[in-house]
Amino acid sequence: MGGPHGGPFLLFHVLCFLLTLSEVGSQNSKACALPCPPNSSCVNGTACRCAPGFISFSGEIFTDPLESCDDINECGPPSPVDCGSSADCQNTEGGYYCTCSPGYEPVSGAMIFRNESENTCRDVDECSSGQHQCHNSTVCFNTVGSYTCHCREGWEPKHGLKNKQKDTICKEISFPAWTAPPGIKSRSLSAFFERVQKMSRDFKPAMAKKSMQDLVGSVDDLLKNSGDLESLDQSSKHVTVTHLLSGLEQILRTLAKAMPKGSFTYRSLDNTELSLVVQEQGKGNVTVGQSHARMLLDWAVAAAAEESGPTVVGILSSQNMKKLLANASLKLDSEKLKETYKSPVRGAKVTLLSAVSSVFLSNTNTEKLDSNVSFAFALHEQPELKPRQELICAFWKKDSNGNGSWATTGCWKMGRGNGSITCQCSHLSSFAILMAHYDVEDPKLALITKVGLALSLACLLLCILTFLLVRPIQGSRTTVHLHLCICLFVGSAIFLAGIENEGGEVGTRCRLVAVLLHYCFLAAFCWMSLEGVELYFLVVRVFQGQGLRKLWLCLIGYGVPLIIVGISAGAYSKGYGREKFCWLNFEGGFLWSFVGPVTFIVLGNAIIFVITVWKLTQKFSEINPDIKKLKKARVLTITAIAQLFVLGCTWVFGLLLFDPESWVLSYIFSILNCLQGFFLFVLYCLLNKKVREEYRKWACMVAGNKYSEFATTTSGSGSSHNQTQALRPSESGM
């Protein structure tokens, strides 16, 4: 083994091994000549391969030395890894892993897995496990994979926060502040709001149902035993009812949020009904109602935009509210009504036929709804509609001053049947069914009235100038005629300028017009009664007597009506002025402050005229009667009777007109009223010979025609006038 040939043989093998290593090293040095980027390895002398989980722009193998191997996102498109339900894929550098989504945990305990088959994730109940972060004013509700914090029953989210969020913080629902309307002085109203304040102090969310019942009962007591509310003026009543309706909606909406979910209906002893539904917002329609009214609307309309709590839908119907709504005005759609009646409509008298129903929702933005709301209102009366009358769906509209009125914009009637009216509205408020009696203007009648009254005023003015300037007819009876025409002139001028109450509200202007008309027309009748007194002195007592002195005539003619008007205004000032006309109100028998004195005067004059005619008949039957005096007395009597007939007939129709049911009465009154001045001008001026002579004289002077016979006639006339004046200054020369 250790022979001479052993050493060389071993050296040969060593040399062969070293030569082999040298060749291999030479080959490797030749294969890695291309520098490969990170996350890759050499394939040969010209190519590199990206490591698993990485890829280059050219693919797994690339030859461009400028390319790089980038991480593959196994969790993203185009072919994401499927970790299974309730799990999330997490990408890593050169790989990935799966974990359970937040709110879930693995049953197996392995927090990391590779695919769906290894997925054992299940929901974590944060509420029962105590892992939630809900505020102590809320209740934790577990959801799939998470949880929400809900306000407790009788609580609501604090301002600026939402319900059913993880950061929700709630506060206990409180009774909203509600105070009396400013500027309204009423003991009944003050006592009501004192009770409301006590309810507010004692309120607990658990007592929400009882609080609503007590509130409805208090409102009933206020309206049923209204006390001094009835004595408020119309504007104050409407301010009060507007304040009550808006306040009730706000309070009932708030208290309903403290109610348990479900439906609730309450009917008071005075037949006021409250119905509401409280539940999570649903889909489709919801119906709420009671015996007075029913409402159908979409849940989406009822829900508030920014609230996630229960949705409230309610309706309160009260029959007693009509006490404060008496004589409320109605805002008309003038253009539509003009098309219907082919003539302008100046106003309407309305009658309330249903309970007043106030709607309240969680949604407070109800001026323009996304979908219409349907109503069915029960009628308490079944009226027979007459011409110019219709049933309308109306709502109470608040103005900027806190007042209100009925309006119809955005509401329309759909049908009538089974004792109810169906309506649709594009907004919400307080609704009712009204019977409207429209005051349709007749252009022909208006023209007749204006032209006729202008003619009457011109004739009365001529009469006044005649009685003042024509000396031959001066006397006590001329004084009576003068002041009669003055009263009629002033009264007719006021009538023409201010009889219509365009605004519908009885204000100071309308009351003043009514007072002046009352006084002027009473004074006219008083002066007409003095005509009868003068005739009585002339014919019955002394036949040639001078009658009353001028001072006594003025005291009676202007003093008596002043006393009547003063007593009437002091006793009941609200009796002056009506919705459509500035005249005496029919309520409470106030019209008798005019009708009573007028009736007394007309009957008194009629008795005097009967006695006068009887006396004249006796004197005509005497052996040697004074025919000339008797004929003059007869003419005066006939004139006075004719005057009484015209004025009396005019006001018989006039008293009927102020609540017209027929166009015939309106035309008759307008024609007679316009003929008053013309009739008196003809009766006292044109039929009077002395007045005609004066007119002729004035006409000739204006025309410059001064003939000799004119002077002769004037001279003769003057002589006759002196004789007549010496005989009887009170005669009219007719």
Least confident of 535-544, 650-659, 724-733: 724-733
Residue at 1 is within a domain: no
Which CATH number covers residue 634? Answer: 1.20.1070.10
Alpha helices in 550-687 (DSSP H): 550-554, 560-571, 592-620, 627-657, 663-681
Is residue 131 a part of any domain in this protein?
no
pLDDT, one tens digit per residue, over 101-154 is 988 889 888 889 988 889 999 888 889 888 888 999 899 999 888 899 998 888
Other Cβ atoms less than 10 A from the Cβ of 139: the count is 17
Q: Quick one: 428 and 533 in the same domain? A: no
- CA–CA dist 497, 489 (Å, integer): 12
Q: Do both 526 and 673 map to the same domain?
A: yes
**Residue (of 680, 671, 692) closest to 640 by Cα position:** 680
237, 202, 199: which is closest to 218 by C-alpha? 199
DSSP secondary structure letter of residue 590: T
Going from the C-alpha of 526 to that of each of 376, 522, 530, 608, 638, the distances in angstroms are: 56, 6, 6, 14, 19
Cα–Cα distance, 16 to 609 (Å, whole number): 173
312 in a domain, yes or no? yes
Per-residue pLDDT, 233: 85
Residue 620 scores a pLDDT above 70: no
More confident residue, 87 or 347: 87
Helix ranges (DSSP H) in 682-732: 689-703, 708-727
Last residue of a domain, one of 438, 472, 487: 438
Q: Is residue 446 part of a domain?
A: no
Total domains in the chain come to 5
397, β-bridge pairs: 405
Mean pLDDT calculated for residue range 645-670: 59
Q: 191 and 165: one domain?
A: no
Q: Are residues 145 and 191 in the same domain?
A: no
Together in a domain, 295 and 153:
no
Stated as kind and residue range, the H or E segment containing 439 is strand 430-440
46: in domain? yes
> Considering all CA atoms of the chain, what is the largest pairwise distance in Å, rounded to the nearest integer?
214
For residues 553 and 531, give the distance between their C-alpha atoms in angstroms, rounded to a whole number.
10
* Residue with tokens 């030749």, as numbered in its chain: 30
Q: Can you give the pLDDT at residue 634?
A: 57
| pLDDT for residue 33 is more than 70 | no
264 DSSP β-pair partners: 276
**Do residues 150 and 257 share a domain?**
no
Q: Are residues 477 and 429 in the same domain?
A: no
Same domain, residue pair 91 and 231: no
| Higher-pLDDT residue of 436, 554 | 554
The Cα–Cα gap between 590 and 582 comes to: 14
Same domain, 116 and 51: no
490 in the same domain as 379? no
The range of the structural domain enclosing residue 394 comes to: 187-438
In a domain, 16, yes or no: no
Three-state SS for 45? coil
Q: Residue 337: is its pLDDT beyond 80?
A: no
Same domain, 517 and 560: yes
Share of the chain above pLDDT 70, in %: 79
What is the 3-class SS of 357-405, one letter each residue?
Answer: EEEEECCCCCCCCCCCEEEEEECCCCCCCCCCEEEEEEEEEECCCCCEE
C-alpha 55/C-alpha 61 separation (Å) is 8
Q: What are phi and psi of 493, to 5 degrees?
A: -65, -45
Give the C-alpha separation, 616 to 53, whole Å: 140
What's the whole-model pTM score? 0.56
> What gap in Å lies between CA 209 and CA 266, rounded to an integer?
10
**Of 113, 106, 165, nearest to 139 (Cα)?**
165
Give residue 655's pLDDT band: very low, low, confident or very high (50, 70, 90). Answer: low
Q: What is the mean pLDDT of the chain?
A: 80
Say how many Å lie between the first and final Cα of the chain, rounded: 192
CB neighbour burial string for 269-290, b if at least 16 within 10 angstroms, e if fewer:
eeebbbbbbbeebeeeebebbb
pLDDT of 644:
59
- At 663-715, the pLDDT tens digits run 666 677 777 777 778 888 887 888 888 888 888 888 888 887 554 444 444 44
For residue 299, what is the domain's CATH number? 2.60.220.50
Q: What is the CATH number of the domain that holds 154?
A: 2.10.25.10
What pLDDT, in 10s, does the model give residues 43-88?
A: 887 889 999 889 998 888 888 888 899 999 989 888 888 898 889 9
Based on the domain organization, do 371 and 465 belong to the same domain? no
- Asked if 476 and 548 count as a contact pair (C-beta separation under 8 A), the reply is yes
**Which whole-number Å values give the CA distances from 158 to 47, 167, 174, in the listed order?**
68, 11, 12
Would 710 be classed as within a structural domain?
no
Q: Does any domain span residue 4?
A: no
